[in-house]
Amino acid sequence: MTNLKDIWEPVLKIIEPKIGRRHFVTFFNNTALLGINNGVAKIGIISVFIRDWIDTKYRDMILDAIRSFDSSVIDLDFEIHSVLSSVEDLRSVKIVDNNATTARSKSKTQGRKIPNKEEVNVQGIRSKRLNSRYLLDNFVVGQGTRLAHAACSAVASNPGSSYNPLFIYGGVGLGKTHLLHATGNEILKRHSNFAVVYTTAENFVNEIVEGIRTFKMNDIKKNYRKADCLIIDDVQFLASRERTQEEFFHTFNELYDNHKQIILSSDRAPRELVGIEDRLRSRFEMGMMVDVGIPDYETRLAILQQKTMGHQAIIPLDVLEFIAYNIQDNVRALEGILLQAIAKAKLEHTTPTVKMVARYIEKFDAKVEIQGDIHKYMPANGSARTIDDVIEVVSAYYKISHDEIKGSVRKREYLMPRQISMYLCRVELNQSFEKIGLEFGGKNHTTVMNAYEKIKKLLDDDYNLVRDVNAIKREMGL
């Protein structure tokens, strides 16, 4: 039997010259081949962020390299071992249950609850500014926020060592503040003795001005420089504040030199910050920079559904879909319209309607052109009845062609929609593996069966996939 190490080490030697030493050390240093089963190579990775990056950037490269040593491999599966820190650790992992993800195993500190405003220790007094409602677990992850969320998770696991500083940027109301608070809360949960200092840039400016006026700058310096993690929101407001930037520059250096975590947010990328000194911009850029994009329709709908549950309200699905379809670029606006509907429903004991929320949206922004056709991908007969119907909906949802779904190209942007289509044909249409394979370009029934099993397994713990599949099923009229 071939030793897995004898496969993985040559694979790494193939990958390293292709991506360069720097990227190789960052993303592949703590990886290992854990097993090969039914044509799927299972790879151990140290964090969610690394997994997402490798999956997006290097999946095909890894698959090709492994296949040069074992042609039976047709797909990859990544397993997270967040508590491990070396390749040797990963190689020594004993996989007891193939359906259990080691990432769900909790460390001794993970079981602690997040300190509330009254429970934070003396060191963490400034952590009272963290909003305990904002958690990484209740942040709805979409295409535009997946990388930012993964980076925040990595930082919370290893503050001061993973992506320091972490700079999150994007437009107003897209979730930056939620991520900042959530990361601070997660750090306190995992490292309860940490001093996590959260503030806004505006408040930081005011404190510096007051410190100069009252001759208490030394106290302010101590307060910030004793932090294990410093979080500053909206750093664009430091613009043109020379004295404040001077103080922040020295505070940044002090914390960074002592391996303390720094997390910053802004409405734009560092290079676009006007009125910020070059020496500060260069420090913002020396770590990890991630942008928070505008959420897609399905993410907006998922956010509304989560908010509805949080307020213990019952809002018809067509109303939530209508709001999600018409408010496209501001999560806060989504919640604002929803709260109006919930308030009216509770006060008047009525059920919100599409007509009602349309009026709210028009009042919110007269420039919004109300759209009602939210089911443009629905098959003509009202619901999916054939394999072609399923392919029609899935191809529209992922914005790829029928041929790309039916084809054999194994790029991830085609492979996942293809496997989801096969899964839905099996589950919703009750078609045989042989019939599905025939309709998908004459593929072997084993290929279809493996696709079905893979999606079925992923649906157990991949929230994003669950959301996508449910959205597709709604578009199918199921």
In the prediction, which pLDDT does 358 show?
83
- Strands 166-170 and 261-266 turn out to be parallel
pLDDT band at 328 (very low <50, low <70, confident <90, very high): confident
Q: Are residues 126 and 231 in the same domain?
A: yes
Q: Are residues 307 and 258 in the same domain?
A: no
**Angstrom distance (rounded) from CA 17 to CA 27:** 14
- On average, the pLDDT of the chain sits at 80
Q: Give the angle subtended at the CA of 150 by the CAs of 7 and 169, to the nearest 5°.
A: 135
Confirm whether 61 is domain-assigned.
Answer: yes
What pLDDT digit, counting tens, does each position of 41-64 carry? 999 887 766 787 788 788 889 998
For residue 427, give Cα distances in angstroms to 180, 195, 433.
40, 50, 11
The answer to whether residue 390 scores a pLDDT higher than 70 is yes
**Angstrom distance (rounded) from CA 32 to CA 84:** 12
In the prediction, which pLDDT does 307 show?
84
Confirm whether 115 is domain-assigned.
Answer: no
Q: Are residues 152 and 270 in the same domain?
A: yes
Check which CATH number belongs to the domain holding 404 and give it.
Answer: 1.10.1750.10
Confirm whether 372 is domain-assigned.
Answer: no
Check which CATH number belongs to the domain holding 52 and give it.
Answer: 3.30.300.180
In the prediction, which pLDDT does 423 show?
92
The answer to whether residue 123 scores a pLDDT higher than 70 is no
- As for how many domains the chain has, the answer is 4
- DSSP, res 288: E
Q: Are residues 42 and 174 in the same domain?
A: no
Domain boundary among 292, 326, 350: 292
Confirm whether 104 is domain-assigned.
Answer: no
**Angstrom distance (rounded) from CA 100 to CA 463:** 16
Task: Name the 3-class secondary structure at 42.
Answer: strand
**Angstrom distance (rounded) from CA 193 to CA 121:** 7
Q: Are residues 140 and 272 in the same domain?
A: yes
Range 409-415 average pLDDT = 85
Confirm whether 374 is domain-assigned.
Answer: no
104-110 long-range Cβ contacts below 8 angstroms, 24+ apart: 104/461, 107/83, 107/190, 109/189, 109/190, 109/191, 109/192, 110/189, 110/190
In the prediction, which pLDDT does 122 show?
33
**Angstrom distance (rounded) from CA 190 to CA 111:** 8
In the prediction, which pLDDT does 280 show?
92
Q: Are residues 177 and 215 in the same domain?
A: yes
Residues near 456 by beta carbon (within 8 Å), at least 6 away in sequence: 423
Q: Are residues 53 and 71 in the same domain?
A: yes
Q: What is the side-by-side order of every strand in the sheet holding 40-45?
A: 31-37, 40-45, 75-80
Range 90-105 average pLDDT = 36
Confirm whether 265 is domain-assigned.
Answer: yes
The answer to whether residue 179 scores a pLDDT higher than 90 is yes
Q: Are residues 308 and 406 in the same domain?
A: no
The answer to whether residue 97 scores a pLDDT higher than 70 is no
In the prediction, which pLDDT does 56 show?
77
Q: Are residues 347 and 210 in the same domain?
A: no
Confirm whether 102 is domain-assigned.
Answer: no
Range 302-317 average pLDDT = 82
115 prior amide bond cis, ω within 30: no
Confirm whether 105 is domain-assigned.
Answer: no
Check which CATH number belongs to the domain holding 311 and give it.
Answer: 1.10.8.60
Domain boundary among 292, 310, 342: 292
For 267, what's the count of Cα atoms within 13 Å in the CB-facing half-sphere? 11
The answer to whether residue 150 scores a pLDDT higher than 70 is yes
Check which CATH number belongs to the domain holding 135 and give it.
Answer: 3.40.50.300
Q: Are residues 161 and 235 in the same domain?
A: yes
The answer to whether residue 115 scores a pLDDT higher than 80 is no
In the prediction, which pLDDT does 22 show?
66
In the prediction, which pLDDT does 143 show?
77
Q: Point out the least confidently predicted range of 65-79, 125-139, 251-265, 402-416.
A: 125-139
pTM above 0.75, yes or no: no
Q: Are residues 165 and 276 in the same domain?
A: yes
In the prediction, which pLDDT does 371 show?
52
Domain that holds residue 432: 387-475
**Angstrom distance (rounded) from CA 118 to CA 396:** 50
CA 18 to chain centre: 27
Tokens of 294: 């505008």
Q: Are residues 174 and 270 in the same domain?
A: yes
Handedness of CA 145, 149, 155, 156 (dihedral sign): positive
Name beta bridge partners: 288: 166
